[in-house]
Amino acid sequence: MRVHSSRSDADAAELRDHIGAETFDRLPLAVMPGRPGMTAVTVRTESGREVTLRWDPADL
């Protein structure tokens, strides 16, 4: 199983500066405007099945 994609609400430029351009560009990460925080992670199993976990950062 591996992380296929993830979504974070944040300022994309600020996050890119924080983690570094090289790392940011390699991550399977979609950054959307909003309250900072991870909002979804999709994993792909060896058989190719995708499972997505979603949450609202306000609930954490």
pLDDT at residue 59 greater than cutoff 80: no
Closest CA to 40 of 2, 11, 4: 4
CB-side neighbour CA atoms (13 Å) of 10: 20
What is the count of structural domains for the chain?
1
**Inside any domain, residue 31:** yes
Domain range holding 43? 2-54
CA 50, 55, 57 angle in degrees (round to 5)? 140
pLDDT digits (tens, 9 = 90+) for 4-48: 999 999 999 999 999 999 999 999 999 999 888 899 999 999 999
Q: Is 15 within a domain?
A: yes
The pLDDT value given to residue 60: 67
Contact 7, 29 (CB under 8 A): yes
- How far is 57 from 60, CA to CA, in rounded Å? 5
Query: Which single residue is written with the structure tokens 């990460």?
Result: 29
